[in-house]
Amino acid sequence: MTDPRTAILTAFADAGVTGWLHALDLDSGTELGLRSDELMCTASIHKLPLLVALHQRAQAGELDLTEPVDCPPDGRTPGPTGLAAMLDPARLSLRDLAYLMMAVSDNAAADLLLSRVGLDAVNRTTSRLGLTRTLALHSFGTMLAAMKEDTGSGGAQALADPHVIARLRALDPEQANHSTPRELTRLLAAIWRDTACSAEHSAAIRRLMGLQVWPHRLAAGFPFDDVRVAGKTGSLPTLRSEIGVIEYPDGGRYAVAVSTRTARTSAILPAADAVIGTSARIAVEALRFARA
């Protein structure tokens, strides 16, 4: 069998990306990594720690997931999906905001939840789980505002310039929300093993992760009717990432975190998206071979 790390590196090179990866067999503990302890910008992946913190606070009786939240259009965090793209006032429960945050990565929904849960609570959650290198430094709106400031007068069109990309604080793990691939698979393991929250709340988190609508990254590597993929993407200029759990009909469960960076600044690079699924499949197949 070809060394899986070599195969993953080849896949990354063919797609024109630099990649980071960690894969973990949730039952045997067998793992496979590539730059798995290097810091990475989490971008929208950090919505998962926020979701866990939300459910931990609900479990503790500190908030009610059915609590209604008014969502006026003024002041909403921008974004291309969900409330962020809507024009009219809305009123949703905390748990329905969480659905929008996870299913379509709605930035406005995420920041409404963050204002209720608290940034410190998100970091207490990751700390309690032993994720010492996973840290939320800012809201999603703050991240986007920093990007707007860093691009300068050129606006969004300036993101085609590699020199502008190089100065984005949002792409510097020391200045942005961050984690490592290994810690992200540990977070997934805690959710799937019901140690992040109670069994009831962990199941609710897994349900939302299974409702994510994007099929072009992690899920693209597992196009089988009987294999279930639940994940959360993260995207910024030149950065494409996804973490998730792949569940096979024989009971095998595998947590995977993949992050990639491209030299090209194009917003649409299908090969860079697809290699996330390809590399995850190579890693999972290696873990399944080790199980046999």
- The per-residue DSSP string of 173-237 comes to TTTS-EE-HHHHHHHHHHHHTT-SS-HHHHHHHHHHHHT----SSGGGG---TT-EEEEEEEEET
List, for residues 82-130, the tens digit of each pLDDT value. Answer: 999 999 999 999 999 999 999 999 999 999 999 999 999 999 999 999 9
Residue 143 has pLDDT above 80, yes or no: yes
Given pLDDT bands bounded at 50, 70 and 90, which one contains residue 292? Answer: low
Query: Quick one: pLDDT at residue 180?
Result: 98
Task: Work out the pLDDT band at 155, boundaries 50, 70, 90.
Answer: confident
Average pLDDT over the chain reads 96
Mean pLDDT of 280-291: 94
E-strand ranges in 53-166 read 68-71, 90-93
pLDDT in tens, 219-278: 999 999 999 999 999 999 999 999 999 999 999 999 999 999 999 999 999 999 999 999
Res. 2 pLDDT band, cuts 50 70 90: confident
pLDDT above 90 (res 32): yes
Locate 16 and state its tokens. 């024109």
Distance (Å, whole) CA 121 – CA 138: 12
pLDDT tens per residue across span 179-202: 999 999 999 999 999 999 999 999
The pair of three-digit structure tokens given for residue 184, joined into one six-digit string: 């992200």
Which pLDDT does position 290 carry in this prediction? 87
- The two three-digit tokens of residue 240, written as one number: 């494409």
Contact between 111 and 145 (Cβ < 8 Å): no
What is the structure's pLDDT at 168? Answer: 96
Please tell me the predicted confidence (pLDDT) of residue 92: 98
**Does residue 52 carry a pLDDT above 90?**
yes
Please give the domain boundaries of the chain with CATH numbers for all domains. Answer: 4-291 (3.40.710.10)
Asked if 112 and 151 touch (Cβ cutoff 8 Å), the reply is no
Question: How confident is the model at residue 19, as a pLDDT?
Answer: 98
Model pLDDT for residues 5-22, shown as the tens digit of each residue: 999 999 999 999 999 999
For residue 42, give Cα distances in angstroms to 73, 157, 174, 234, 259.
27, 23, 11, 6, 9
